[in-house]
Structure 1
Amino acid sequence: MTQSFTGRRQALAGAVAGLAATAQPAAAQPLPRPPAAPPAARPPASSPLVRGFSRERLGRIAGVMQAEAERGSFPGAVTLIARQGEIIHFEAYGHQDAAKTKPMPRDAIFLQASMTKPLTSALALMLVEEGRMKLDDPIAEVLPELRDLKVEQRQDDQSELVPATRQPAIHDLLRHTAGFVYSGASPSPRIKAAYEEANIEAGRGPIGGEEMLRQLGAIPLAFQPGTTFFYSIATDVLGLLVSRVAGKRLDQAMEERLLAPLGMRDTHWFVPPEKRARLAEAPDSDPQKATMWAQYRILTDERATSYLKGGAGLVSTAADYIRFAQMMANGGVLEGRRYLAAPVVNFMMSNHITGMAGSPTASTGPGYGFGLGFGVRLADGMGTAPGSPGDAMWAGAWGTSFTIDRAEGLVAILMAQGPSNRVRTRMIWKDVVYGAMVESLRRG
């Protein structure tokens, strides 16, 4: 760590949270250590570029975000871009609340929904590294409630239960090939009804982990394990499995292994009372808001009564989440501390669904496969937004998204709450990020 880096980090310590949004792009800065936020944007440097990004083009982001807010996609947003480990853009736009009375602060707290999945997946791979479990282990070795899973075989309007050709493995949980579903997207009315009746996704209220697994073990899989990518509760099941292997609740294991060491001090499984004033809201006009809010229940501490969703449970901030994303972009290390081995990170960000049915296109757009917790770009072409082969991304149902493009040294975070417009806004975000990157590390 250089003296200049140390000095800048000290200058950030104690900076006031909730700074007003500005449209002026900041000079390159080291990653913030939450809850501190970077100081207000500095005057433009003499160079028109910062880490190969055009300052002028970074300035366009404000207008794009404001236009989306006025359109009703979300009340406001926080955007953050780092290149080669330094923040070159960190701004807030619009409003924090649906009534549009509070300017959006940089330290606003957002429901992460499925952006919880990469953290749970990283935690699982840490246990794999330690030899405490293997990817090809059948999940029933740790979760015996799931030892007798059957598969629903469907043809036309008929269905029957058949034996699984093999047990789902831990690998299948990480890549969504176990045969589980989300009830709202289930290809089978029978399985959808069973999930909802048993409260598998804890949508109606708390359900303990053991009870959830007992109920799930009686519901058939929608596909034979290892044959089909189908986005599902698999990471929630993974969270329960990790908890048993680690010998402690998922929140405790994640706090000890990832959140506390990374300095992610605003990342929680529920929003504590003293931080609720910083919670960002979705528009009241969003048709999904009321139903989703009732399902997530992030103002209630249910750790004693319900399982923690490894696939959907966290809240966080842009400054917190980039510390995890930058650690992954760095090959498993941040600020001298190693969390995962570099080959393991490479493995996680490789395509693990080659030759299988299904794809993550609904979340990523075309041109992506799926690794272990991340959508992974397969080639330069096919995508509907720029990127690099091997770039990794994921997003949350409330409107958050991130991109890790290691070939370009890029980490980009969008924090917004607008469920119904989330696919639109995550793609617009990628367009404006890459549209500001005028110098490519790949092609000089």
Structure 2
Amino acid sequence: MSKRSVSFDPGAPHLALRFVLAGLAFAAATATGTPAAAQEATSIQGFATARLARIAPVMRAEIEKGTMPGAVTLIARNGKLVHVEAHGFLDSAKTRPMPRDAVFRGFSMTKPVVAVAALALIEQGRLNLRDPLAQYFPEFKEMKVFIEVQDERGRTTRVAVPAKRPILIWDLFRHTAGFTYAGSAPFPELTAAYERADVESRDTDVSNEEFVNRLAAIPLAYEPGTRWEYSVATDVLGLVVEKVVGKRLDLHLAETIFGPIGMKETSFQLRPEQAGRLADAYDADPLKVELWKASRPEQDPAKRYVHGGAGMLTTAEDYFRFAQMVLNGGELDGVRILSRKSVGFMLSNHIQGLIGSPLPTTGPGYGFGLGWGVRLAEGGGYAPGSPGDAMWAGAGGTSFTVDRQEGIVGVIMTAGPSTRQHTRFLFKDLLYGALTE
């Protein structure tokens, strides 16, 4: 087993007690005037316990000022949990305390999981990055792309012309297929087309066939392979996985990833016993209504196409297990999901020389691998990190980071769509601010 394989202790009350004792010790040391150096001498896996104790007060302050109703924060190093804590409340009214096993709408934190599943098929020789998408869905064989032209009066208009090259499976992984999202489309014609076709199945239950037909009928935003544009590409990749394995995506993920590595709370449909632990956003959050309508966690996934880009429900400790598997080089507790080289390939930058970047999600200083944002250098970012660290985030307020250089996994789960950028970078500051060795 890798030296960074997770040692996951379900008897975590002992861990919680250690945090309480550490906090009491910190308070006592402060009260007696013990030097700061002595206060920070106690550490867990190189994290100063006194600095980890900063996280709860900061989260409490954010909750009190209305950033989000609550949160669950988790930090691990070398496979050892050093911090897991629930903060605040599950609900908008702040009447139900947040449990550590709260269930969150993962939204785009689904994407790295689907990327791993697709990469596993490549390892098996059942899929290839160079495969044209039309090999699996002929509807995408003759795509058109919008280009700008000037009419005889010098006015700029857009027309659709045949794309210069086909969409490849590689493009689906790295968001270079030319697809987009309605909410972030680069020009109004695309926004209108995506909304009119309900491509993202926000208002109606769109089937696999309807999704493919509607999306293929809309011209691409850009020539395939020329620009990074965040999009429904991972939803399409999920349908490719379904086509290859002959099984619905959520069922395939449960059999090949969730079950084997012990992600017992993760699925694409909220189970009855989880209903009382589903985290909610503030009713006043301006993004809540539309996002929650699109999520539909209680609905049977079979009613519409399974959203490989946004449909997963998970917990902090479940997602930690997935992230730790990747940090370990594709293995967790003796179960290998990917090879070490495949993980390295996945977490390398695949958009060199292209226009566009994942800056709105990752902040500056990141490229993009096969489904993950990847840090390019030590500096140039909004928060500390390491070259090659990988992360992604969900529109509902969740985020995670995998720092292979430091052996760190960090996860923050909130239900705060409008404040998600603030909380993800705040947490990274707290995480790295506690690392002293």
Same-fold call, TM cutoff 0.5: yes
**Structure 2 counterpart SS, 1:205:** coil
Whole-angstrom distance in 1 between the partners of 2:85 and 2:305: 35
Counterpart position of 2:347: 349
Counterpart in the other structure of 2:254: 255
Counterpart of 1:152? 146
CA distance in 2, matches of 1:118, 1:23: 34
Counterpart position of 2:198: 199
Q: Name the SS of the counterpart of 2:259 in structure 1.
A: helix
Conserved 8 A contact 1:24-1:59:
no
Alignment partner of 1:99 is 2:93: yes
Paired letter, 1:78: V
1:431 to partner: Cα distance: 0.3
2:327 corresponds to 1:329: yes
Relative distance call for 1:213 and 1:24 in structure 2 (3 A) is: farther
**In the alignment, which residue of structure 1 is the partner of 2:79?**
85
| Residue of structure 1 aligned with 2:400, choices 381, 399, 402 | 402
SS in 2 for 1:304: helix
Answer whether contact 1:179 1:222 (CA < 8 A) is retained.
Answer: yes
- Map residues 122-201 of structure 1 onto 2, 5 A cutoff: 122-155=116-149, 157-201=156-200
CA shift in 2, pair 1:142/1:362, >3 Å:
same
Question: Cα 1:24–1:397, aligned 2, differ >3 Å: closer, same or farther?
Answer: farther
What is the one-letter code of the residue matched to 1:139? Answer: L
Distance 1:255 1:320 in 2: 13
* TM-score computed with the length of structure 2 as normaliser: 0.91
Q: 1:25 to 1:273 in 2, by over 3 A?
A: farther
Cα distance in 2 between the residues matched to 1:101 and 1:20: 25
C-alpha contact 1:21 1:91 (8 A) present in aligned 2 = no
> Do the aligned residues in 2 keep the contact of 1:126 with 1:339 (CA within 8 Å)?
yes
Percent pairwise identity? 52
User: For residues 41 and 335 of structure 2, what CA distance do their matches in structure 1 show?
Assistant: 33
Change (3 A) 1:106 1:190: same
CA separation in 1, counterparts of 2:309 and 2:357? Answer: 18
Tell me the equivalent position of 1:118: 112
C-alpha offsets along residues 124-159 of structure 1, whole Å, 9 cap, x if unaligned?
000000000110110010111211210011257401
Q: 1:422 to 1:24 in 2, by over 3 A?
A: farther
Residue 25 of structure 1, CA deviation = 5.9
Amino acid at match of 2:121: L
Give the match for residue 391 of structure 2.
393
Residues 200-215 of structure 1 aligned to structure 2 (within 5 Å): 200-215=199-214
Tell me the distance in 1 between the aligned counterparts of 2:303 and 2:416. 29
Q: CA RMSD in A?
A: 2.2
CA drift at 1:265: 1.1
In 2: Cα distance, 1:217 partner to 1:157 partner: 25
Partner residue of 1:358?
356
**Do 1:75 and 1:100's aligned partners in 2 also have CA atoms closer than 8 Å?**
yes
Which residue is equivalent to 2:237?
Answer: 238
> 2:218 — aligned with what?
219
Q: TM-score, normalised by structure 1?
A: 0.89
Q: Aligned AA for 1:349? A: L
> Is residue 283–residue 418 contact of structure 1 (8 Å, CA) maintained in 2?
yes
Q: Using a 3 Å threshold, how does the CA distance of structure 1 residues 138 and 20 change in structure 2: closer, same or farther?
A: farther
For residues 334-356 of structure 1, the C-alpha deviation after alignment (integer angstroms, 9 at most, x for no partner) is 11111100000000000000000
Partner of 1:31: none
Letter in 2 for 1:285: A
Cα distance in 2 between the residues matched to 1:327 and 1:311: 20
What letter corresponds to residue 326 of structure 1 in structure 2? Q
Q: Is the 8 A contact 2:261 2:333 kept in 1?
A: no
* Residues 407 and 227 (structure 1), Cα distance of their counterparts in 2 relative to 1, 3 Å cut: same
For residue 74 of structure 2, what is the amino acid of its counterpart?
Answer: L
SS of the counterpart of 2:220? coil
- Name the residue aligned to 2:28: none
Query: 1:197 is paired with a residue of what secondary structure?
Result: helix
Looking at structure 2, the residues matched to 347 and 332 of structure 1 have their Cα atoms a distance apart, in angstroms, of 12
Aligned match of 2:412 = 414
In structure 1, runs of 5+ residues without a counterpart are 27-44, 440-444
1:93 deviation in Å?
0.7
Any idea what the Cα deviations from partners look like across 1:375-416, whole Å, max 9, x if unmatched? 000001101100000000000000000000000000000011
Residue 20 (structure 1) shift = 11
Unaligned runs of 5+ in 2: 24-38, 150-154
- State the one-letter code of the partner of 1:208: S
Distance verdict in 2 for CA 1:25–1:188, change over 3 Å? farther
Match for 1:135: what amino acid? L
